[in-house]
């Protein structure tokens, strides 16, 4: 095995998080190889693309992480756009959360970050909103990006431009390790060959499937079904984020509707009549007129969830193996900060006190182990 091949860092999973990290590291001159079982199953091609730490009502460390990422997104996206030549469809369109009454609005976890709307103001922001919604919160700082059609593709193209190697249709079957040290992976190639790749470092970012490679990771799938509608021109300017259903208007009038949240579905593939009815009822409850707009596409995917619905970032129990998984319903939002933190860990770059605190807060073993004296760097 040539020493230089061993030095290539493996990205185990070519979804949104894997591509974001590959891009960040390749930009720093690192040799990176992405191993991807199936491009189309990545949640990065499923998500609605909301950038919504406030509209989602995130709290504590996850809110901090989300806000940090949101602040980095414009620069991050600009960089990807200029490397790839693809416009990623970033829209600072604001997100409106409707409420049935002012007391539920005012007790929303992120209410202090939003602008209070009464019924008249709510109707102005979301023309046609159903009458039961009496008030709302407008989070102007939240937005969206066209992950399915643009961001994923732009990341792939930018990565290739920076020399990242891709292996599509390759399944990582097993991690090789000895004395708590990562040593490589066993893969099955698209042509069915079983091979060993000897490597010193890898990032495990296999989304909802992460714990099939490392069983100690408490990651499980939460299935989500989606659909899109073709709305009339300028029908909706802002994202509307109701309880259980949201509508995300793209620039070209396509409206992404999401999403079911099915914990018991496991990895069961496909649309279900129940899930699709739930979306239709959700549209009726939120914006009844939208049920007259023609459906364009229906799809589903699996969110990588952890027990506290927050990601696992940084070191693993194996030296040389890094973790970036469990981003659940906020992986698009969190991709920018995840890539930046992972770059610093992997390249052993200086990290600030607050970054250190974040890495401790999102360590993989936080569910089982005292956080005291936790170390966040692998070397």
Ligand X SMILES: Cc1cc2nc3c(=O)[nH]c(=O)nc-3n(C[C@H](O)[C@H](O)[C@H](O)COP(=O)(O)OP(=O)(O)OC[C@H]3O[C@@H](n4cnc5c(N)ncnc54)[C@H](O)[C@@H]3O)c2cc1C
Task: Note whether 49 binds ligand X by CB under 6 A.
Answer: yes
**Residue 195 CA neighbour count, 13 Å, CB half:** 14
Give the x-and-dash track for 76-115 against ligand X (CB under 6 A).
----------------------------------------
> 237 — phi, psi (to 5°)?
-100, -35
Task: Note whether 177 binds ligand X by CB under 6 A.
Answer: no
How far, in Å, CA of 50 to CA of 285, rounded?
A: 20
Q: Which stretch binds ligand X (CB under 6 A): 43-51, 121-129, 313-321, 365-373?
A: 43-51
Query: Binding residue for ligand X (CB under 6 A) from 110, 316, 325, 363?
Result: 325
Is 322:329 a contact under the CB 8 Å cutoff?
no
Compute CA 286 distance to the chain's CA centroid, rounded to the nearest angstrom. 25
Of the two residues 17 and 135, which places its CB atom closer to ligand X in the complex?
A: 17
Task: Note whether 46 binds ligand X by CB under 6 A.
Answer: yes
Give the x-and-dash track for 223-262 against ligand X (CB under 6 A).
-x-x-------------------------------xx---
Is 73:54 a contact under the CB 8 Å cutoff?
no
Task: Note whether 50 binds ligand X by CB under 6 A.
Answer: yes
Task: Note whether 209 binds ligand X by CB under 6 A.
Answer: yes
Least CB distance from residue 203 to ligand X, whole Å?
10
Residue 194 bridge partners (DSSP): 188
DSSP character string of 82-147: HHH------B---EEEEESSHHHHHTSTTGGGSEEE-HHHHHHHSTT--TT--EEEEETT-EE--I
Of the two residues 37 and 177, which places its CB atom closer to ligand X in the complex?
A: 37
Of the two residues 114 and 224, which places its CB atom closer to ligand X in the complex?
A: 224
Is 286:278 a contact under the CB 8 Å cutoff?
no
Task: Note whether 171 binds ligand X by CB under 6 A.
Answer: yes
Unique residue bearing structure tokens 């890539």: 339
* Interface with ligand X (CB under 6 A): 12-18, 35-39, 41-44, 46-50, 171-172, 205-209, 213, 224, 226, 258-259, 301-304, 325, 327-333
């Amino acid at each position: 095995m040539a020493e230089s091949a061993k030095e290539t860092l493996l990205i185990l999973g070519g979804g949104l998080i894997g591509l974001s990290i590959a891009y960040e590291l390749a930009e720093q001159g690192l040799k990176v190889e992405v191993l991807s079982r199936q491009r189309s199953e990545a949640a990065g091609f499923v998500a609605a693309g909301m950038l919504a730490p406030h509209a989602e009502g995130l709290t504590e460390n996850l809110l901090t992480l989300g806000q940090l990422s949101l602040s980095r997104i414009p620069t991050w996206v600009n960089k990807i756009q200029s490397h790839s030549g693809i416009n990623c469809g970033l829209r600072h369109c604001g997100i409106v959360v409707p409420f049935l009454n002012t007391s539920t609005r005012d007790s929303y976890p992120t209410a202090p970050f939003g602008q209070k709307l009464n019924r008249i103001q709510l109707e102005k922001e979301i023309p046609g909103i159903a009458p039961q919604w009496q008030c709302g919160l407008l989070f102007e700082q939240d937005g969206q990006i066209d992950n399915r059609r643009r961001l994923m593709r732009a990341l792939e193209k930018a990565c290739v431009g920076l020399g990242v190697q891709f292996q599509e249709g390759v399944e990582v079957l097993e991690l090789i390790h000895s004395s708590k040290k990562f040593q490589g992976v066993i893969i099955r190639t698209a042509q069915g060959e079983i091979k060993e790749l000897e490597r010193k470092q890898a990032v495990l970012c296999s989304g909802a499937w992460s714990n099939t490679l490392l069983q100690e990771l408490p990651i499980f799938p939460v299935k989500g079904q989606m659909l899109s509608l073709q709305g009339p021109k300028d029908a909706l300017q802002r994202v509307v984020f109701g309880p259980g259903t949201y509508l995300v208007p793209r620039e070209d009038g396509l409206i992404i509707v999401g999403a079911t949240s099915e914990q018991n579905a496991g990895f069961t593939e496909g649309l279900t009549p129940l899930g699709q009815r739930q979306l239709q009822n959700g549209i009726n409850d939120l914006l009844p007129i939208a049920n007259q707009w023609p459906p364009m596409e229906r799809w589903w995917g699996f969110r990588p969830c952890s027990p506290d619905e927050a990601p696992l970032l940084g070191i693993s129990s194996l030296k040389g193996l890094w973790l970036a998984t469990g981003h659940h319903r906020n992986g698009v939002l969190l991709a920018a900060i995840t890539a930046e933190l992972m770059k610093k860990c992997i390249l052993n770059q200086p990290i600030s006190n607050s970054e250190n605190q974040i890495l401790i807060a999102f360590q993989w073993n936080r569910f089982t182990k005292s956080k005291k004296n936790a170390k966040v760097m692998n070397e």
